[in-house]
Amino acid sequence: MNMARSRAFCLLALFEVALLVLSACGSAGAPPTAANQPSATGAASQAAATSAAVQATQGMTEASTSAAVQVTQGATEAATSTAVQATQGMTKVTTSAAAAGCNIKPPAQPQEVTFLGWPGWDVDTYAKWLDDCNSVNNIKVNVRTMDNSSAVEQMKLAFSSGSASPYAIVHQSNSSIQQNAYKGWLRPLNDLIDTYRSQYNLNDIAQTHWDAATFDGKILGIPMQSNTILLMYRSDLFEKHNLKAPTNYDEISTACKALKSEPGITVPFALDLSAGWAWATAFFEAIRSEGGDFFAQGGNAPAFNSPQGVAALTKLKQVVDACMGTQGLAMGYEQFQAALRNGSVAFIHTWADGGAAMVDPSKSQFPNVIKFAPAAAVEPGGKLAGSAWDDYWSIPASYKGDPDLVFQMIMQVASPERQKEAAKLGLVTRTSVASSSSLPYATAAVETISKGVGAYPKSPALNVMETALGNYLPLVGTGELSPKDALQKAEADYIKEAKTQGFLK
Amino acid sequence: MKRKTFIGFVAPSVILMVALLIIPLVVAIALGFQSFTYLTLNARKFVGLENYQSILLDSRFWQAVRFTFLIIVIVTPLEMIIGSIVALLLDQIPKGRRGIFVSLCLTTYVSVPIVAAYMFRGLFQSDGLGTWIIEQVTGQHLIMNEFAVKMLILAYGVWRDTPFVIIIVFAGLQSLSLEYLDAAAIDGANRLQQIRHVTIPHLAPLLMLIAMIVIMAKYQLFDAIFVLTGMNPIYHADTIMAYNWRTAMELEQLGKANAMSILTVGGLMIVLIPFLVRTWRSQTRER
C-alpha cells in the first residue's frame, strides 16, 4: 500500500469511527418523544411509536403536497397502517390469563376489535386485559399504541375518510374527545350504558366523570382513569433549605432562588412549557386559578384577554425567569419527571400519574425522599392550578362492527375487580375503588381535584383557541412578547379563525 | 417497435402515474380554491384565490420559506463537499477493504429518518456525547435556544444525508478511467490538479443530479423539525413542510394547506430550473 492510500485509509477509518461512535451514542441516548398533548394518561411515549406515527403524519403531509386530502386519505391510511405495523408493530400484549378474564358470549360471526390509544400505565395495563378477549371464540383483539398527538391524527384521518372506522375502541382525553364529539365522530353510548348500568354497576363512576364526556346529552366515552397536576418535590432538599412545599407561584419562585445553588441541580423547578399546547394547558390552569376563563359564559367568545389572563401569564413568566430559564423551557414533562428521579431537578408541577415511578426504586434514585403535594395556586388562597382530567374509551360512530360486543369488552377492563388492580398503579374513576386507593399521591390528587380549577372547557372552538394561544404564549417565555401583547395577538387570531370556521359571527 | 407493443409497455406506468400523481394533483389544485376543515369536509366553500392570498400575506409562511432556503443554501454545499472528499478517499483504498467502509458510511442514511432524528437528538440531550463535546470545546453549557436548535437542524441535515453523496460520488468515480489520471500525471499534474481538471469535470453531471436530489430532500425536511423542536414556536424553526403540517393538523385549514402544497411544488420547480437546464444542456452536448 503506498503512502497516499495509507493516508486515505487512516482518514476514512477516523471518519467511520466518528460516525459509529456518534450513531451508537445517539442511539443509546435516544429520548422519548416530545410531542404530546395533555391527557389523563400524561404518559411517557415511545420513540418507536412516534417514529411510525410521524412517518404516517409525514406521509400525509407529503401526500398533501401532491394530492388532495380526500383522495389521498385512503392511500395514507393504508400506508399508515403498514408503517405502524412494520415499524412499530401491533403492540399485542401477550396474555397469561384465560378466558375467565373476558366473560362475554362469543359472537356468531368473527369480529376484529382494534384499539387505538397512547401508552401510559392505564393502556399498558388495560391492554393486557383487553387482550384476554382473544381467548373468546370469534374475537380477535389488536392493540395499537402511539404517542398522543399521533394517535389523535390517526383518528382524524380515519374518521374523516368517510369509510368504516378501522378502530373499534379509541382512547380519548378531555381535549381530544371534544375534537371528535363536535364533528360527530363518536358513537353515543347512552343506550348501551342504560342496558348495562346495573350489570356493570356503572353508577359507581361519579357523575362528574360522566359529565365531562357528555355533549348535548350524549355520553361519548367511558371514563377509564383520572389525572391531575401535583407538586412533586425532593423533601431532603426542602428540609435542608428550611423550605415547605410551595402552595402558590410566589413560593415556587422563592424556593427556586434557594435551590438554584444546590449542587447537581441544573433546573430547580419545571412545569411543562415545552410546546404551544403545553403553554395553553398551563395558561388554562393559571387563568382559572386567577378567576378567569378561556371562553365567555355559554359561548365561543374569547375571555382570556382579560386582567386575570394577563396576571396569570405574568406569574407564569415570573416562574420561568426565577426557576426554568431557556433550559427548563425546552424540557417536556417526561424529561423533567426523569430529571427529578435522577436528581437534576428539585421539584416539579406535573401529571399525577408520573408519581408511581418517583417512588419506584427501580426507576428513581430518590424513592424515599420524593414527596407529593397538591398543585400550587397562582395567588395565595386561590384555586389550585391543577385541572381535572379523564381518559375515556369511546366507540367511533363509523365503526361497522357490533358496538354491543365492543362495549362489553370495554366493561371487562372497567369492571370493579379490574379497577381494583389498576388502582395500585394510578387514579381510577370508580368511586368505590378510588376512595380506598393506597397510592402515595392519592391524597394530594384528591385535594387538587376538589380545590382545583376543574375540567377543561367544552367548546367546538377549543382547538382553534389552543392553537392561537399556542402560537403566542411561548414567546412570552422567551421575552419576545409581553403577556398583554401575546394575549391580544392570540385573541385577534382566534377571532379571525373562529369566524372563518363559523364558531363566531 | 409495434404500436401495440409500445402501448403495452407504457400503459401500466402511465395508468399508475395518472392515478397516483396527476389525479391527486388536480384534486389538490381544486381543493386549494376551497375553504374547509375536518368539521366541514362535506360542506366545502369555494373561496377562489383567498387561500393563496392568505398564504402570501402570512408572515409565518415566509419565515418557514426563509428557514427552508437557509437549510438548502448551507447544508447542500456542505454535504456535497464532505461527501465528495470522503468518496475520493474511499476510492484510494484497496478494493477488498472498501466494502466495510461503504457499509459503515450508510449507517445513518439507511436508518428510518425519524429514528435517525431521535438518535441525533439523543446526542444533544443533557448527557449526550455531542453536548459533552460542545461543553468541552466551548466551556459553555449547551442551552437549547433558537440558535442552538437551528444549528442542530443544519448539522442533522449534513449528518444524515452526506452518506448518500458519498455513495453516489464513489459510484461515479468507478466509471473514471485511470488512463485519464495517468495521462494527467505524466503531463505533470499533481493530485489536486488531477481532481480539479479530470475528476470533477467527469463527475459534473452526476454532481448536478445529486445536488438536485439533495435540494429536494431538504425542501421536504419535516422529521428533524418535528423531533428537534417538538414543534415549539419559540425556535422559529418551521420549514415549509412543518408549517404545512401545522396548517393542516393544528389549524385544520385544509384548503389553505392544499394551496400551500401547490405553491411549494411550484416553488421547488423554480428552484430546480437552473439545475434542470444545466443538466439538459450537458446531456445534449455529450450527445
DSSP per-residue codes, A68-104: -HHHHHHHHHHHHHHHIIIII----------GGG---
Contact A501 B39 (CB under 8 A): yes
- Position B225 scores a pLDDT of 93
Q: What is the CATH number of the domain that holds A404?
A: 3.40.190.10
Among residues 378-437 of chain A, which lie with CB inside 8 Å of chain B? none
Say if B107 is an interface residue toward chain A (CB within 8 Å).
yes
- Does A276 lie in the same domain as A294? yes
- How far apart, in Å, are the Cα atoms of B39 and each of A10, A159, A260, A463? 61, 11, 48, 12
In a domain, A36, yes or no: no
Task: For residue B103, give the C-alpha cell.
Answer: 457499509
ipTM over 0.85: no
Q: Are A295 and A260 within one domain?
A: yes
Q: How confident is the model at residue A31 (pLDDT cuts 50, 70, 90)?
A: very low
- The DSSP element (H or E) to which B85 belongs, if any, is helix B59-92
pLDDT at A33 over 50: no
CB contact under 8 A, A19 and B104: yes
| Residue A66 predicted with pLDDT over 60 | no
Are residues A409 and A472 located together in one domain of the fold? no
Contacts of B115 in chain A (CB under 8 A): 30, 47-48, 51
**H or E element at residue A389:** strand A389-394
Higher pLDDT pick, A162 / B73: B73
Burial letters for B234-273: b for 16+ Cβ neighbours within 10 Å, e otherwise?
bbbbbbbbbbbbbbbbbbbbbbbbbbbbbbbeeebeebbe
Same structural domain, A328 and A475? yes
Rounded to whole angstroms, the Cα distance separating A231 from A77 reads: 41
Query: Which uninterrupted H or E stretch holds A484?
Result: helix A483-500
Amino acid at A447: E
DSSP states along A6-71? HHHHHHHHHHHHHHHHHHHHHHHT----------SS-----HHHHHHHHHHHHHHHHHHHHS-HHH
pLDDT at A181: 92
DSSP state for residue A345 in the 8-state scheme: E
Minimal C-alpha gap between B276 and chain A (Å): 20
pLDDT at A438: 77
> Of all residues in chain B, what percent carry a pLDDT higher than 70?
99
Identify the H or E element spanning A231.
strand A229-234
Q: What is the DSSP letter of A120?
A: S
Q: Which domain holds residue A222?
A: 66-226+389-442
Higher pLDDT, A72 or A165: A165
Q: Is A47 part of the contact surface with chain B (CB cutoff 8 Å)? A: yes
Determine the distance in angstroms separating the CA of B231 from the nearest CA of chain A, rounded to an integer: 7
Q: Quick one: closest CA in B to A159, which residue?
A: B38
Q: What pLDDT sits at residue A49?
A: 33
Domain assignments of chain B as residue spans, ordered by start:
60-286
Q: Which of residues 209-248 of B touch A (CB under 8 A)?
A: 220, 222-223, 226-227, 230-234, 241, 244-245, 248
Instruction: Share the mean pLDDT of chain B.
Output: 89
Q: Does A393 lie in the same domain as A382?
A: no
pLDDT at A119: 85
Name the nearest CA neighbour of A271 among A291, A293, A244, A253: A253
* Cβ proximity of A205 and A213 under 8 Å: no
Mean pLDDT of B25-46: 89
Q: Which of B101, B122, B230 sits opposite A30 (nearest CB)?
A: B122
In a domain, residue A330? The reply is yes
Q: Which residue of B has its CA nearest to A460?
A: B39
Lowest mean pLDDT among A203-212, A227-236, A287-296, B74-83: A203-212
**Residues A319 and A337 both lie in one domain:** yes
Q: How many CB atoms sit inside 10 A of residue A431's CB?
A: 14
Percent of residues, chain A, with pLDDT higher than 90: 54
Q: What is the mean pLDDT of residues A301-328?
A: 95
Q: Which chain A residue shows the shortest CA-CA distance from B191?
A: A4
The x, y and z cell numbers of residue A192, run together, are 348501551
Compare CB distances from A30 to B119, B129, B244 and report the shortest one's residue: B119
- CA distance linking residue A141 with residue A93, whole number of Å: 10
Does a structural domain hold residue A74?
yes
In chain B, residues with a C-beta closer than 8 Å to the C-beta of A332 are: 230
Which of A8, A64, A75 faces B244 most closely, judged by CB atoms? A64
Number of domains forming the structure of chain A = 2
Contact of B121 with chain A, judged by CB distance below 8 Å, is answered with: yes
Residues A287 and A365 placed together within one structural domain of the fold: yes
Window 248-277 of B: residues touching A by CB (8 A cutoff) are: 248-254, 257-258, 261, 264-265
The predicted structure's pLDDT at residue A58: 38
* pLDDT tens, position by position, A260-291: 999 989 899 999 999 898 999 999 999 999 99
- What's the rounded Cα separation, in Å, for the pair A330 and A274? 5
Query: For residue A32, what pLDDT is reported?
Result: 31
Contact (CB<8Å) B24/A470: no
Segment B242-282, tens digit of pLDDT: 999 999 988 888 999 999 999 988 888 888 888 788 777 77
- Under a CB-based contact definition with an 8 Å cutoff, are residues A317 and A329 in contact? no
Q: Which amino acid is at A440?
A: P
Higher pLDDT, A70 or B196: B196
Please give the Cα distance from A491 to A120 (Å, whole number).
34
Count other Cβ atoms within 10 Å, centred on residue B160: 23
Q: Which pTM was predicted?
A: 0.76
- Does A105 contact B at CB distance below 8 Å? no
Is the domain of A308 the same as that of A393? no
B129–A21: do the CB atoms touch at under 8 Å?
yes
Q: Which of A92-106, A187-201, B201-215, B221-235 has the lowest mean pLDDT?
A: A92-106
Q: pLDDT value at position B127?
A: 76
Q: Cβ–Cβ of B118/A183 closer than 8 Å? A: no
Q: Which pairs count as long-range contacts for A317-320, CB under 8 Å and 24+ apart, including other chains?
A: A317/A476, A317/A477, A317/A483, A318/A249, A318/A250, A318/A253, A319/A249, A319/A252, A319/A253, A319/A256, A319/A269, A319/A271, A320/A273, A320/A477
**Residues A338 and A368 occupy one common structural domain:** yes
B245: closest CA of chain A, how far (Å): 6
Backbone angles phi, psi at A138, to 5 degrees: 70, 10
Tell if the CB–CB gap between A65 and B252 is shorter than 8 Å.
no
- In the A/B pair of chains, how many CB contacts fall below 8 A? 215
Question: Could you tell me the maximum CA-CA distance found in chain A, to the nearest angstrom?
Answer: 87
What cell was used for B7? 402501448
Q: Say whether both A383 and A246 belong to one domain.
A: yes
**Is B107–A50 a contact, with Cβ atoms under 8 angstroms apart?**
no
Coil, helix or strand for A148? helix
User: Domain B60-286 - what CATH class?
Assistant: mainly alpha
Tell me phi and psi for residue A481, to 5 degrees: -130, 150
Does A22 contact B129 at a Cβ distance shorter than 8 Å? Answer: yes
> How far is B108 from A157, CA to CA, in rounded Å?
31
- Interface check for A138 against chain B (CB to CB < 8 A): the answer is no
Cα dist from A320 to A283, A324, A354, A474, whole Å: 13, 5, 22, 11
Render pLDDT for A37-49 as a digit per residue (tens, 0 to 9): 444 443 333 333 3
CB-based contact B37 A474, cutoff 8 Å: no
Indicate yes or no: CB of A25 within 8 angstroms of CB of B129.
yes
Residues A294 and A217 in one domain: no
Inside any domain, residue A27: no
Residues A132-157, mean pLDDT to the nearest whole number: 89
Measured CA distances, B248 to A72, B42, B84 (Å): 14, 16, 38
Per-residue pLDDT, A11: 58
Take residue B64 and report the three cell numbers written for it.
Answer: 418557514
Same domain, A270 and A293: yes
Contact A361, A243 (CB under 8 A): no
User: Does A447 map to a domain?
Assistant: no
Q: Which of A334, A323, A329, A50 is nearest to B232 (CA)?
A: A329
Closest residue in A to B36 (Cα) is A501
In this prediction, residue B51 carries a pLDDT of 94
- Confidence at residue B102, expressed as pLDDT on a 0 to 100 scale: 82
Mean pLDDT, rounded, of chain A: 82
Using a CB–CB cutoff of 8 Å, tell me whether B37 touches chain A: yes
